[in-house]
Structure 1
Amino acid sequence: MKKNWIRGVLAAALCSVTLGFNTPNVDPTQQENIEIIIKSNLSVEDKVEKILQQLTLEEKVGQMTQITLDVITKGENVFVSDEPLTVDKKLLEEAIKKYKIGSVLNTANNRARSTEKWNEVITQIQKVAMKEIGVPVLYGVDAIHGTTYTAGATFFPQQIGMAATWNPELNRQGCEVTAYETRASSIPWDFSPVLDMGRNPAWPRIWETYGEDVYLTSQMGIAAVKGYEGENNDLSDNTKVASCIKHFLGYGSERSGKDRTPSYLPEIELREHYLPSYKAAIDAGAHTIMINSGIINGTPVHASYKLLTDLLKKELGFEGLVVTDWADIENLHNRDKVAATHKEAVKQSINAGIDMSMVPYNFNFCGYLIELVNEGEVPMERIDDAVRRILTVKVKLGLFETPAPKVKDYPKFGSKEHEQIAYNAASESITLLKNDKDILPLKKGTKILVAGPNANSMRTLNGGWTYSWQGEKVEEFAQDYNTIFEAVQNTFGKENVNLVQGVEYNHEGQYYEEKNIDIQAAVKAASSADVVLLCLGENTYTETPGNLHDLYISQNQRKLAEALAATGKPVVLILNEGRPRLISQFESDMQAVVHTYLPGNFGGDALADILVGDVNPSGKLPYSYPMYPNALGTYDHKPSEASEKMEGMYDYNSSLPFQYAFGFGLSYTTFEYANLKVSNTDFGPDDNIKISVDVKNTGKVEGKEVVQLFTKDVYASITPDNKRLRRFEKVNLKPGETKTVSFTLSARDLAFVDADLKWTVEEGEFKLMIGDKTTSVNVTKTKKFDQASN
Structure 2
Amino acid sequence: MRRPFPLDAEQERFVADILSYMTLEEKLGQLAVLVDAPSGPDEEYAEAVASGRIGGIVDIPDRDTARAFQRRAVEETRLGIPLIFATSGRVRTAGAPKPSGWSRAASWDIETVEALGHEAAGDALSSGSRWLLGPKVAIDRKVVADEAAICAAEPVLLAELSAAYVRGVGSYSHSGEPNVLAGLQCRHAGGDSASETDPAVLEPLFAAIREDCLASLQPQPPALARFAGIALGRCRNILEATGGPLEWTVDAAETAIAQGRLNEGEVEDAARGVLSVKCALGLFRDPYAGLTGENGADGNESAVGGFRQAEDNLARRAMVLLRNRGAILPLSQDLQRILVVGGPGGIADGCREGLETFGISTRSVPGLALRGEGETYHDMGEHDPFAIALSCDAARRSDVVLMALDESMFSHSDGRLPRPTEPVLSLIKALGSIGRPIVAIVASEHPVDLGVAAEAFSSIVFVWRSALDCPIALAELLSGEFSPSGRLPVAIASEIEAASFPFGHGLGYSETVFSNFTLDYCDSAVTAEIRVHNPGEFALVETVQLYAGAAVSKDIRLAAFERVNLDPGEAQTVRFELGMKELGLLGADGRYRVESGLHRIAIGKSAQRVLSREVDIDESYARSIMLGRPVRGRVRATGTMDRA
TM-score category by the smaller chain?
Answer: 0.7 to 0.9
Match of 1:47 among 7, 11, 14: 14
Q: After superposition, give the CA deviation of every residue in 1:136-174 in whole Å (9 maximum; x if it has no partner).
A: 32222233xxx6123144x47523212212221222122
Cα distance in structure 2, aligned partners of 1:179 and 1:516: 49
* Aligned 8 A contact 1:452 1:557 in 2: no
In structure 2, what is the equivalent of residue 102 of structure 1? 55
In structure 2, what is the equivalent of residue 142 of structure 1? 88
Q: Could you tell me the TM-score, scaled by structure 1's length?
A: 0.67
Distance 1:620 1:66, change over 3 A: same
In structure 1, what is the equivalent of residue 404 of structure 2? 535
Match of 1:690 among 524, 527, 540: 527
Cα distance in structure 2, aligned partners of 1:415 and 1:423: 12
Q: CA deviation at 1:492?
A: 4.9
Distance 1:672 1:607, change over 3 A: same
In structure 2, what is the equivalent of residue 218 of structure 1? 159
Q: Could you tell me the TM-score, scaled by structure 2's length?
A: 0.81
Cα distance in structure 2, aligned partners of 1:787 and 1:252: 31
Distance 1:50 1:328, change over 3 A: closer
Match of 2:129 among 187, 190, 204: 187
Cα distance in structure 1, aligned partners of 2:18 and 2:376: 49
Please list, as runs of the form range in 1=range in 2, the aligned pairs for 1:165-314 lying within 5 A after superposition. Answer: 165-201=107-143, 203-205=144-146, 208-230=149-171, 237=176, 240-247=179-186, 251-255=188-192, 264-265=193-194, 270-291=198-219, 308=220, 311=222, 313-314=224-225
In structure 1, what is the equivalent of residue 340 of structure 2? 450
* Aligned 8 A contact 1:512 1:538 in 2: no
* Aligned 8 A contact 2:169 2:213 in 1: no
Aligned residue identity for 1:428? R
Does 1:57 find its partner at 2:24?
Answer: yes
Q: CA deviation at 1:511?
A: 12
Does 1:73 find its partner at 2:12?
Answer: no
Secondary structure at the aligned position of 1:196 is classed as: strand
Cα distance in structure 2, aligned partners of 1:507 and 1:191: 35
Cα distance in structure 2, aligned partners of 1:789 and 1:140: 40
Cα distance in structure 2, aligned partners of 1:266 and 1:69: 28
Match of 2:548 among 711, 717, 726: 711
Cα distance in structure 2, aligned partners of 1:522 and 1:690: 57
Does 1:740 find its partner at 2:573?
Answer: yes
Secondary structure at the aligned position of 2:268 is classed as: helix
* Aligned 8 A contact 1:66 1:104 in 2: yes
Distance 1:119 1:517, change over 3 A: farther
Cα distance in structure 1, aligned partners of 2:117 and 2:405: 29
The worse-fitting range, judged by mean Cα deviation, of 560-569 and 734-743 is 560-569
Distance 1:559 1:101, change over 3 A: farther
Cα distance in structure 2, aligned partners of 1:692 and 1:138: 48
Does 1:346 find its partner at 2:229?
Answer: no
Give the fraction of aligned pairs with identical amino acids, expressed as a percent. Answer: 23
More strand by share: 2
Cα distance in structure 2, aligned partners of 1:517 and 1:787: 67
Aligned residue identity for 1:594? V
* Aligned 8 A contact 2:140 2:188 in 1: no
In structure 1, what is the equivalent of residue 270 of structure 2? 386
Q: CA deviation at 1:238?
A: 6.0
Cα distance in structure 2, aligned partners of 1:101 and 1:505: 50
Secondary structure at the aligned position of 1:227 is classed as: helix
Q: CA deviation at 1:416?
A: 4.4
* Aligned 8 A contact 1:215 1:726 in 2: yes
In structure 1, what is the equivalent of residue 444 of structure 2? 577
Match of 2:282 among 398, 401, 410: 398
Secondary structure at the aligned position of 2:49 is classed as: helix
Q: CA deviation at 1:551?
A: 3.2
Secondary structure at the aligned position of 1:51 is classed as: helix
Cα distance in structure 1, aligned partners of 2:464 and 2:206: 24
Cα distance in structure 1, aligned partners of 2:340 and 2:151: 30
Cα distance in structure 2, aligned partners of 1:239 and 1:659: 45
Aligned residue identity for 2:614? S
Distance 1:207 1:63, change over 3 A: closer
Aligned residue identity for 1:533? L
Please list, as runs of the form range in 1=range in 2, the aligned pairs for 1:23-42 lying within 5 A after superposition. Answer: none
Distance 1:204 1:677, change over 3 A: closer
Distance 1:779 1:534, change over 3 A: same
In structure 2, what is the equivalent of residue 776 of structure 1? 614
* Aligned 8 A contact 2:409 2:424 in 1: no
Secondary structure at the aligned position of 1:617 is classed as: coil
* Aligned 8 A contact 1:253 1:265 in 2: no
Cα distance in structure 1, aligned partners of 2:626 and 2:470: 40
* Aligned 8 A contact 1:761 1:784 in 2: yes
* Aligned 8 A contact 2:540 2:565 in 1: yes
Number of residue pairs matched?
Answer: 603
The worse-fitting range, judged by mean Cα deviation, of 506-515 and 729-738 is 506-515
Cα distance in structure 2, aligned partners of 1:152 and 1:490: 22
* Aligned 8 A contact 1:699 1:736 in 2: yes
In structure 1, what is the equivalent of residue 417 of structure 2? 551
In structure 2, what is the equivalent of residue 414 of structure 1? 303
The worse-fitting range, judged by mean Cα deviation, of 735-744 and 55-64 is 55-64
In structure 1, what is the equivalent of residue 71 of structure 2? 127
Secondary structure at the aligned position of 1:423 is classed as: helix
Q: After superposition, give the CA deviation of every residue in 1:528-578 in whole Å (9 maximum; x if it has no partner).
A: 35333223253599xxx9873653413343333323333444321122223
* Aligned 8 A contact 2:317 2:486 in 1: yes
* Aligned 8 A contact 2:138 2:145 in 1: no
Cα distance in structure 2, aligned partners of 1:430 and 1:56: 55
